[in-house]
């Protein structure tokens, strides 16, 4: 397998409901996501895929849904204010509701799989930095090595 990784950066706010410390409060991060895709064969130019394809497909999804928004647990009472004020927000799925780095890494992985369906590319992993010193890794259990 041949692999490449594309880095994406975005700014979002969130809070971790029921957190035992200050992260239960609304705050923001400059997230950095490293998304690795793979293919068995290289294209005629010797690439897994042009990096611009990942920017266009995955980057545009990130810009549309996650950049400069509030990432919400579906049970977060702040959602009613966000709706009232017509502020941008993204609601996490019920299966991984709290917008922790771990859950966001998985959400990016699952969404990337959906976005790249039919392209011949396989999402291998996601590394999501919440801060320069703290990150979460997600690996696609269905990916081939």
The separation between CA 30 and the C-alpha centre of its own chain, rounded to angstroms, equals: 12
14 is catalytic: no
pLDDT of residue 47: 97
This prediction has a pTM of 0.95
23 is catalytic: yes
34 is catalytic: no
Mean pLDDT of successive 10-residue stretches along the chain, which has 145 residues: 97 96 96 97 96 98 98 97 98 97 98 97 98 97 88
Catalytic residue among 106, 107, 122, 130: 130
Residue 39 contacts by C-beta under 8 Å, 6 or more apart in sequence? 1, 2, 48, 49, 120, 121, 122
pLDDT of residue 106: 98
pLDDT of residue 56: 98
Catalytic residue among 27, 40, 68, 134: 68
pLDDT of residue 31: 98
């Amino acid at each position: 397998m041949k692999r490449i990784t594309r880095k994406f950066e975005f700014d979002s706010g969130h809070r971790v409901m029921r957190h035992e410390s200050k992260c239960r409060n609304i705050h923001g991060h400059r997230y950095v996501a490293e998304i690795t895709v793979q293919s068995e064969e290289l294209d005629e130019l010797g690439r897994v895929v042009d990096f611009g394809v990942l920017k266009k497909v995955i980057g545009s999804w990130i810009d549309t849904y996650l950049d400069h928004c509030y990432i919400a647990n579906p049970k977060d009472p702040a959602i009613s204010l966000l709706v009232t004020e017509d502020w941008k927000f993204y609601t996490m799925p019920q299966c991984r509701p709290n917008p922790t780095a771990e859950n966001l890494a998985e959400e990016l992985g699952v969404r990337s799989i959906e976005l790249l369906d039919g392209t011949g590319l396989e999402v291998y992993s996601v590394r999501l930095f919440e801060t320069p010193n703290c990150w979460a890794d997600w690996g696609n259990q269905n990916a081939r090595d």
